[in-house]
Amino acid sequence: MQITPIDATLSVGPQIEPSDMAELAARGFRSVICNRPDGEGPDQPSFAEIEAAARAAGLEARHIPVAGPASSEQAEAFAAALREMPGPVFAFCRSGMRVTTLWALSAAGSRPVSAILATAKAAGYDLSGLARRLANGGRIPADGADASHDVVIVGGGAAGIAVAASLKARSSDLDVAIIDPADVHYYQPGWTLVGPGSLMRHRPSRPWPRSFRRGCGGSRPPLRPSSRTGMP
């Protein structure tokens, strides 16, 4: 019987037999999850047989069958099982890949994607093809847009914010969105005034969304006029 630890509470492996339950109990496992549908293989024991043997060995058992790509509902059911069943838990399918996939999806959003992939790889399962879904919190990424806007501006620098403010000033009903990876907006022209002392060093920066001008999702401009220079 192959047992591969994922973390302190979960180990995974390929198909097991009802006769393996006593050994699992002897190794300290308290619960078993089967992620393989009944009848998938000709020599596969049914879940009823697995469950009966598990109970006889003092283990809890749960069936979360997965045929094809795992759904978000199946990942949620797997996460619920890990929360509710006494641990440590041993989960299995035909090869262990479906189990590891369900674990990864259930961990998405609470662990870094790189850490999830590294843990799976260390256990012998390559989930690199699942990276995009993991980055989407375990949900299947939609091919369509998640939102729509009249105008989308890529880049939230001084120019991007100025364009957005200008568009909103001309048409207040216009739906304008700015895409930028930064958490803080730096007003680049303002840095030229820091050297001569016209602006304090922290003045050219504002956290999003405080950088937006009035009428464009915020209440103040990136910089207030300087009393010394009269410049923004």
Question: Does residue 141 register a pLDDT over 80?
Answer: no
What pLDDT is attached to residue 183?
A: 60
Rounded average pLDDT over 199-224: 48
What pLDDT is attached to residue 15?
A: 94
Tokens of 89: 């838990």
What pLDDT is attached to residue 82?
A: 93
Query: Who wins on pLDDT, 219 or 149?
Result: 149
C-beta separation of 168 from 176 below 8 A: yes
Question: Does residue 104 register a pLDDT over 60?
Answer: yes
User: Tokens 């590294």 map to which residue?
Assistant: 118
Its pTM stands at 0.61
Cα–Cα distances in angstroms (integers) from residue 7 to residues 12, 27, 35, 168, 210, in the given order:
10, 15, 18, 52, 42
CATH domain 4-135 topology: Protein-Tyrosine Phosphatase; Chain A (3.90.190)
First to last CA, the chain: 71
Question: Does residue 198 register a pLDDT over 80?
Answer: no
Query: Who wins on pLDDT, 138 or 61?
Result: 61
Question: Does residue 232 register a pLDDT over 60?
Answer: no
Q: Given pLDDT bands bounded at 50, 70 and 90, which one contains residue 97?
A: very high
Question: Does residue 114 register a pLDDT over 80?
Answer: yes
What pLDDT is attached to residue 3?
A: 93
What pLDDT is attached to residue 137?
A: 83
Q: What is the mean pLDDT of the chain?
A: 81
User: Tokens 């120019």 map to which residue?
Assistant: 159
Closest among 49, 55, 59 to 25, alpha carbons compared = 59
Please name the amino acid found at residue 214. Answer: R
Poorest-pLDDT segment among 72-76, 79-83, 135-139: 135-139
Please name the amino acid found at residue 78. Answer: F
Query: Who wins on pLDDT, 172 or 79?
Result: 79
C-beta separation of 127 from 95 below 8 A: no
Rounded average pLDDT over 144-168: 80
C-beta separation of 38 from 117 below 8 A: no
Rounded average pLDDT over 84-102: 94
What pLDDT is attached to residue 207?
A: 59
Query: Who wins on pLDDT, 158 or 97?
Result: 97
Closest among 203, 151, 160, 205 to 180, alpha carbons compared = 160
- Secondary structure of the chain in HEC code, one letter for each residue: CCCEECCCCEEEECCCCHHHHHHHHHCCCCEEEECCCCCCCCCCCCHHHHHHHHHHCCCEEEECCCCCCCCHHHHHHHHHHHHHCCCCEEEECCCCHHHHHHHHHHHECCECHHHHHHHHHHCCCCCHHHHHHHHCCCCCCCCCCCCCCCEEEECCCHHHHHHHHHHHHHCCCCCEEEECCCCEEECHHHHHHHCCCCCCCCCCEEECCCCCCECCCECCCCCCCCCCCCCC
Query: Who wins on pLDDT, 109 or 28?
Result: 28
Task: Check the CA dihedral 106-111-117-122 and report its sign.
Answer: negative
Q: Where in the chain is the domain with CATH 3.90.190.10?
A: 4-135
